Structure 1
């Protein structure tokens, strides 16, 4: 009779634990990163001394497990890293586009050369010359503003990179603490599964910053590598490496990983760091191309000036001056009479020298160059948007596949709630019957 009581009591305890786990699942149904819990149970049995057959003595709870598939979780991280790189790179492409178009450089170039045609039509009139100087001044300001915008984009990229690296280092440190916790807790306990949820959530956040791969030991501690292939180790047990960011004068960025006395290079293939590296390369390319355009323009226009004669029949002086950077352009000339419209053999009333300016416009294709920069970048933005849309769908699909295993299904939990409730009541009934029977036997005696 005591066996019947212990069997009923073990059933009550097991089903009470199961009800608590189901309740926890229901309460956390909408919590991001929460994995569904279940209990594992084992029969309490012993072999009979006379028959050798196993005799049941009830059930006990061996632990709490989480519904998780590490392969599907890894697929989410991979898809997330790809999407994050594309989106982060797109931010800087948009920044380049706004920098190239914000100051209206292409239109200012056109207005300047058209103003020169106005001077050629009436080389002795002061008004067209004044207009040309006004357009030249506006063009110089446009070159400067465009260069400053791209320089500001570079500075913003540096700040973003520093912030992303700081976040990655913070997440690595947090993961190391979780690893340390996993080494201390008893497996298959609530504490262990909670730490495993935290571990996977941190890994997913890390994948938004850089492509990571993770391996696990028997305790569930993660060793994390970043950068594709064999990668560079960021976290191993409770040991953490530190990531740093640097950019050289040519715009090339580099990420270094320091672990003790060892320094290695991190080449991000995904995540925000990968997008930052892409963006830095594109911004650097745009700045170089713009600087070359500005240098050729100023040198060409000033050379045309030097080859002609002004209204005062003197050799033309430079129209523009360049500052610390090729795009830092200011006006040298302020007197409209100083525009060298005439060729040396024409006197002061000619306009042949402005033909050389028009030839420079045609051969150097200043407007076409800046227009091509804008259109090429716009096409790249559009293509990247298509890629991002596809990667977003892949990422959503990976999340759905993972959540189909680890997510909480309220319909299933409702069924389990009823099942364990009935089992709990049945076990309680076993105890009640055993007690009544035992009392009846006592009364008979």
Structure 2
């Protein structure tokens, strides 16, 4: 009878605990990272009664946490990569929208400006057309500045994201280290809920930094960044901090403080959200800033050169239409020398806009790519008369003396778009006319007529001097009495920085005069040349037009955004598969739990009947004894 009661009691207790486990699973259906638990039953050791062993009921041997370490590891790896790609996709898409939308892109004001130049070439003396061109120039310069400002804002958001991420990483690492301590050296006897909580926190941590988690003997987890730096080792958590870029104090980088030492993290080796931010900055934002600046500088410098080759309505040679900033040269924060390096754009055909690292090794200067370390050709000696030449930029050691290992970062075009502005305010200062004009002698008898007058060198000091050309016969001419010079039909005559050509053949005694263009001229020669500059092949060694560069920038940004989006979608599919694999083992299924609940409830009721039967038997015995 006592055996019957003990057996029933053990069953009641076991099924009660099993029911508690099922209810715990159902209660945590929506708890992030929860792994369902299962009660393990085992028969109690039997008692030997001479004729054999009699069973003593049931006992709970374990409340097992249903988890697959391989599935958890796959999900962890996928989580870090998905966070990186999603962050990269979101930020890249914002730049794509910025450049592709008509309201924010560069194409509309660019077209508006060159259309206004074309309109001026049709009415060079028109004040309204001059006002329109100046207004469109200001609109284009404003759009360049706005785009540069928006890109700078995104750079600031990257900084903010790093600061917020550092705070979360340190919080998560500290809590994981504490859980490692609570779990102790034997995770086999640790609470399943504690293990779930730790796995969930590790997943969140990897979502910020990428990397992986490695279990020690006994079950404590060590967490490392994607670059292999330790975030959590046992019960010790490292501290992630932000540091300033040695060349740009306004830009943040990441470092890890562990065991009293600070280790600068390789920005290219970070994963997770923070790695996505850093990758966006280095592979999308910085190239966009550099290319936007290269286009702005190239357009402004090309237009300035063309504008200075014309004459304004005051009869004076044109000046710069745009103000152009000099390329940035930033000294490393650790430089010990006093050297100051200045830069200027020298050759647009070779002007790439790519960053260059200059380093003084104690005896000579070297140039390299700051991202890859690859050497870059550097010519010249760095003096004013023989400047260094690298990627279309001239560099001069303006003052001071360099120390060994002093470094300078040349950013030829980054930020240049933000400093472009219009240099003139008076519409009459627009140089639409050719600096010189030509006229034929009234007594000319030949069929030769001036068909083309072009300025080849606007800087020639004698460009606007009056010059007389007289033909001795169809094959000879003099210039201001000098000569004679041989002439053949169709030949170009060049002098003082200009050139002319004649249609048909001149006769003996024919004369032509080249003189300076006066004030209030309606000549449109220079305006026509300016209007064609956006299709001039001046970039990439003379193979790319300014219009082509605008299209290339939009395509580059759009391609980067689409690629990031495609990669994020593919990784999401991998993440879903990894999550499904984990949930198939650890996830709570309400149908299964309901079935278990009904089965255990029936078993509990049956065990109660055993106890009831034992009680009835005992009461029968008591009644018999009382009689």
TM over 0.5: yes
Please give the alpha-carbon distance, in whole angstroms, between the structure 2 residues aligned to 1:437 and 1:12.
18
Task: Report how far residue 290 of structure 1 moved.
Answer: 1.3
Between stretches 158-167 and 253-262, larger displacement belongs to 253-262
Moved more, 405-414 or 381-390: 381-390
Matched positions, count:
440
1:210 and 1:54 mapped to 2: Cα distance? 60
**Cα distance in structure 1, aligned partners of 2:141 and 2:64:** 68
Q: Distance in 1 between matches of 2:105 and 2:71?
A: 49
SS at match of 2:552: helix
Are the structure 2 counterparts of residues 60 and 344 from structure 1 closer, same or farther at C-alpha, using a change threshold of 3 Å? same
Match of 2:152 in 1: 151
Query: Match of 1:179?
Result: 180
How many Å separate the matches in 2 of 1:54 and 1:216?
44
2:200 maps to 201
Match for residue 230 of structure 2?
A: 233
Alpha-carbon distance in structure 2 between the residues aligned to 1:396 and 1:139: 47
From 422, 429, 432, give the equivalent of 1:341. Answer: 432
List per-residue Cα deviations over 1:175-208 (Å, max 9, x = no partner): 122222212999546xx11111111211222232
* Alignment partners' CA distance in 2, 1:215 and 1:378: 39
Matched with 2:99 is: 100
2:547 is equivalent to residue 367 of structure 1: yes
2:126 matched to which residue of 1? 125
Shift of the 271–179 alpha-carbon distance from structure 1 to 2, 3 Å rule, reads same
**Equivalent residues of 2:185, 2:219 under 8 A apart:** no
Q: C-alpha separation between the residues in 2 aligned to 1:242 and 1:261?
A: 10
Please list the CA deviations of residues 266-288 of structure 1 after superposition, one character each: whole Å capped at 9, or x if unmatched: 55453212211221011111111
Which position in structure 1 is the counterpart of 2:41?
A: 41
Answer with 97-106 or 83-92: which moved more: 97-106
- How far the C-alpha of 1:323 sits from its partner, in A, is 5.6
Which of these two proteins has the greater Rg computed from alpha carbons? Answer: 2
Classify 1:136/1:165 alpha carbon distance in 2 versus 1 (closer, same or farther; 3 Å).
same
Return the alpha-carbon distance in structure 2 between the equivalents of residues 133 and 428 of structure 1: 96
Tell me whether 1:243 sits opposite 2:333 in the alignment. no
Aligned counterparts of 1:277 and 1:71: Cα–Cα separation in 2: 30
Q: CA RMSD in A?
A: 2.6
Matched, 1:403 2:583: yes
Q: Secondary structure at the match of 2:44?
A: strand
TM-score, length-scaled by structure 1: 0.90
Residues 2 and 21 (structure 1 numbering): CA distance in 2 closer, same or farther, change over 3 Å?
same
Higher relative contact order (CA 8 A, sep 6+): 1
User: CA–CA distance in 2 between the matches of 1:208 and 1:272?
Assistant: 6
TM-score (norm 2): 0.65
Alignment of 1:195-344 (within 5 A): 195-217=194-216, 219-227=218-226, 231-246=228-243, 248=245, 249=247, 254-264=253-263, 265=265, 267-268=268-269, 270-281=271-282, 282-322=284-324, 325-327=415-417, 328-344=419-435
Q: CA deviation at 1:145?
A: 0.9
Query: For the structure 1 residues 14 and 185, does the alpha-carbon distance in structure 2 shift closer, same or farther, using more than 3 Å as the test?
Result: farther
Which has the larger strand fraction? 2
Unaligned runs of 5+ in 1: none
User: For residues 402 and 422 of structure 1, do their structure 2 counterparts lie closer, same or farther at Cα, with a shift above 3 Å needed?
Assistant: same
Unaligned runs of 5+ in 2: 327-414, 438-516, 539-544
- State how far apart, in whole Å, the 1-side matches of 2:546 and 2:596 are: 73
| Cα distance in 2 between the residues matched to 1:46 and 1:132 | 103
Aligned in 2, Cα 1:252/1:330: closer, same or farther, shift over 3 Å? closer
Cα distance in 2 for partners of 1:179, 1:28 equals: 22
Q: 8 Å contact 1:175–1:235 — kept in the other structure?
A: yes
Report what 1:421 is aligned to: 601
CA distance in 1, matches of 2:611, 2:151: 79
Which stretch shows the higher mean deviation, 255-264 or 165-174? Answer: 255-264
The residue matched to 1:224 in structure 2 has which SS?
A: strand
Compare 121-130 and 309-318 and name the one that shifted more.
121-130
* Equivalence for 1:433: 613
1:68 lines up with 2:70 in the alignment: no
SS of equivalent residue, structure 2 residue 279: helix
Native 8 Å contact 1:141 1:330 kept in 2: yes
Kindly state the Cα deviation for residue 224 of structure 1 after the two structures are TM-superposed.
Answer: 1.0
Shift of 1:422: 2.3
- 1:223 partner SS: strand
